Amino acid sequence: TQGFAIDLGGTKTAAAVVTNGQVVARLQAPTDGQAGLAQQLETLAGLLSQLGFRRGDRLGTAVAGRISADGNWQAVNAATLSGIGAEPLLAQLQDRFGPDVSVRNDAAAAALAEARKGAGAGSAHFAYLTVSTGVGGGIVLNGRLLQSANGLAGHLGFMSSPLGTARCGSGRWGTVESVASGRAIALAAGTPDARAAFADTSDRARAAIDRSAAAVARQIADLTALFGLDRVAIGGGVGLAPGYLLRVQSHLTSEPELFRVPVNPASLGQDSALIGALMTEEDIS
Ligand code: ADP
Ligand code: BMX
């Protein structure tokens, strides 16, 4: 089976051809964080046509922000996608690309893919965390993705962190996202982005990355208490950056053994949200 997939994150928008659950062609463009729905759709259409998409082809779409049960799209962190208020994403996609279109949150899509055929395969109580522009997540319990009608369930970045000191673009204070995200690392490190912080050997940059890893480790222990997790996978540009996972694992060793759940890298890497965008709930069990 073949389909097309989109992964629209806070920094980059990827499009792919997915054949039998594998990415066989992939294109990427920077995400315009200020763009409204119409402009985002233009970017998607451009990428898809370069990949050979034709109206009516199967299209799975994964986006940062929450997707409510009626297919509406809204940023939770308004600083990341400031042009996305409450947009009829599903309806507009169907209008433009045909009836065989689905939408879900990017981290939820990645969680589904990792649970089914990645780092979470065989796990009964699994959490996926992306540390990228923001911090996103997905909880998969006995093969089922935890979901809510308002699309907020699994938004782990908006839980409080004991390390939090700042306001988040969601309006909440001291969120995990405000401490641990790529954006937060760059702000604390004084670098243009998180990638530059990883390339910077200054104490300030190291401290910013370590604080992010410490916040993620604390959150993983919290989630383990809540869901009885047996496994966690970490993805995203920061989550998969060299040395980051080791920092998280190292911070987790200061937790009591009961809370030290195994934490692995997302094994589908950059492709997890693209692959999960095309999965159905039934694919997983
Ligand atoms: P998106 O958030 O759009 O899904 P990414 O998963 O690539 O995109 O996450 C973007 C964040 O990850 C940015 O903060 C970026 O600086 C950071 N990043 C991307 N690649 C790397 C890398 N190789 N090393 C460190 N940080 C990275
Ligand atoms: C934020 C939130 C989530 C998203 C997560 C990871 C917005 C715009 N985004 O917590 O919906 O899943 O970031 O997204 O509210 P990414 O941009 O880091 O890939």
Does ligand 1 have an atom closer than 6 angstroms to the CB of 195? yes
Q: Is 61 in the pocket of ligand 2 (CB under 6 A)?
A: no
Tell me how far apart the alpha carbons of residues 247 and 118 are, in angstroms, rounded to a whole number. Answer: 22
Calpha distance 278→51 (Å, rounded)? 16
- Answer yes or no: is pLDDT of 258 > 90: yes
Instruction: Provide, rounded to the nearest whole percent, the portion of the chain with pLDDT above 90.
Output: 97
Helix (H) or strand (E) holding 224: helix 203-227
Task: Note the pLDDT of residue 187.
Answer: 98
Nearest ligand, CA of residue 12? Answer: 1
Residue from 119, 125, 162 nearest 146 by CA: 125
Q: Which of 6, 7, 11 to mutate to test the pocket of ligand 1 (most atoms within 8 A of CB)?
A: 11
Instruction: Please report the pLDDT score of residue 80 as a whole number.
Output: 97
pLDDT digits (tens, 9 = 90+) for 122-143: 999 999 999 999 999 999 999 9
Strands ordered across the beta sheet of 2-8:
22-30, 12-19, 2-8, 59-63, 101-105
> What are the start-end ranges of the E strands in 99-195?
101-105, 125-131, 135-141, 144-145
Instruction: Give the mean model confidence (pLDDT) for residues 214-237.
Output: 98
Residue 285 predicted with pLDDT over 70:
no
Inform me whether the pLDDT recorded for 284 exceeds 60.
Answer: no
Shortest-distance atom of ligand 2 to CA 181: 18
pTM for this entry: 0.97
Quote the mean pLDDT of the chain.
97
Residue 236 confidence (pLDDT) above 60: yes
**CB of 40 closer than 6 A to ligand 2?**
no
Asked if residue 77 has its Cβ within 6 Å of ligand 2, the reply is yes
Per-residue model confidence as pLDDT tens digits over 2-42:
999 999 999 999 999 999 999 999 999 999 999 999 999 99
pLDDT score recorded for residue 1: 79
**By CB neighbour count within 10 A (0-12 exposed, 13-18 middle, 19+ buried), where does 255 fall?**
middle
Instruction: Establish whether residue 239 lines the binding site of ligand 1, counting it when its CB lies within 6 angstroms of any ligand atom.
Output: no
3-state secondary structure of 11: coil
